[in-house]
Amino acid sequence: MTIERGVPLARMTTLGVGGPARAFARPRSVAELTEALRLAQAEGLDVLAVGLGSNLLPADEGVDALVLRLEGELAAVEIDGTVLRAGGGAANAVCLHRARDAGLGGLEFACAIPGTAGGGVRMNAGAYGRDWADVLAQAQVVTADGDLWLRADELGLSYRHSSLLPGQVVARVDYRLAPSSADLVRAAVRELVAQRKATQPTNKRTCGSVFKNPPGELGAGAMLERCGLKGHRIGGAIISPKHANFIENAGAATSADCVALMVEARRRAHEEFGVVLAREVVFAGLPELPAVA
């Protein structure tokens, strides 16, 4: 396993922003992943698994961390009866296709989440009323000290949250699915994809949903739209004219531009609705958003 230095993260994020990583590795097995985590521990580096980079905002100045992209057997997908075992680096689209071909349903909602199995566990990702907690049986979690399998009820899954700590990386995921048919899965996915394309900027460079939906009936996107923020631009970043909870790279955007938009969005939402929006996008090398007065 090669450890690279100074690898630009902009090319690894769907938004296309971010400076270099202090260290970067592509582990292909649990043994290599453990080795990488021990190296990070020895060098005093934070650990960041990037997946497909779809929910990530790295600092323009770079990230003082060991950044990991899981490959090889850590991105493989296997079927055993109604259980789908995926490497933490397996793309959700690949998992969904394998489930469909095996006549298994339950993962259809993941067609709206352009990430990986491991990232889905870490943030309990979800869409259209379902999330990872609905389909997850167990996950193999690796640290510098070794690995262990944790059941779904041991992972502290709640809305866009898990109890996984920094330095813990999801190596494998077991999904417990239900018998279905390829035609039924395909039809459900077709309907969900059509909904997504109709409401979200799927043809633009974004980092996915920026803020978590607050309690209540009004979601973050609707709230920010009522604040008149659709199309609001700072530098090369713009709040999507299609969905106000997305930030688009409108040309040479920087992480600083995106953070400035987030600060303004939170200010206006608090001013208009008395709500402090919590970010959903993961910060890397960035300070937390300032408190809303």
- Note the pLDDT tens digit of each residue in 66-116: 999 999 999 999 999 999 999 999 999 999 999 999 999 999 999 999 999
Write the CA distances from 209 to 20, 194, 248, integer angstroms.
24, 18, 11
Rounded to an integer, the average pLDDT of 199-218 is 96
Give SS3 for 150.
strand
Residue 276 has pLDDT above 90, yes or no: yes
Identify the H or E element spanning 261. Answer: helix 255-273
Residue 273 has pLDDT above 80, yes or no: yes
Rounded to an integer, the average pLDDT of 270-277 is 97
- Asked whether 132 and 126 are in contact (CB, 8 A), the reply is yes
Is the dihedral angle over the CA atoms 39, 45, 46, 51 positive or is it negative?
A: negative
The reported pLDDT for the residue numbered 23 is: 97
- Which residues are within 8 A (CB) of 215 and not within 5 positions of it... i.e. 6 or more apart? none
**CA–CA separation, 48 and 167 (whole Å):** 8
Rounded to an integer, the average pLDDT of 182-202 is 96
The reported pLDDT for the residue numbered 125 is: 96
Residue 155 has pLDDT above 90, yes or no: yes
Band (63; pLDDT cuts 50, 70, 90): very high
Identify the H or E element spanning 33. Answer: helix 30-43
The reported pLDDT for the residue numbered 1 is: 86
209 is catalytic: yes
The reported pLDDT for the residue numbered 293 is: 77
- Asked whether 53 and 14 are in contact (CB, 8 A), the reply is yes
**Beta strand 20-25 pairing with 63-68:** parallel
Please name the residue ranges forming H helices in 103-204. Answer: 117-123, 182-199
- Note the pLDDT tens digit of each residue in 232-272: 999 999 999 999 999 999 999 999 999 999 999 999 999 99
**Beta strand 3-4 pairing with 20-25:** antiparallel
Give SS3 for 163.
coil
Q: Identify the active-site residue in 22, 85, 160, 172.
A: 160
The per-residue pLDDT of the chain, averaged, comes to 97
Q: Identify the active-site residue in 54, 162, 180, 209.
A: 209
CB atoms within 10 A of CB 143: 17
Rounded to an integer, the average pLDDT of 151-171 is 97
Residue 154 has pLDDT above 90, yes or no: yes
- Asked whether 161 and 51 are in contact (CB, 8 A), the reply is no
**Beta strand 237-239 pairing with 233-234:** antiparallel
CA torsion 166→168→172→177, rounded to 10°? -60
Kindly state the percentage of the chain with pLDDT values over 90: 99
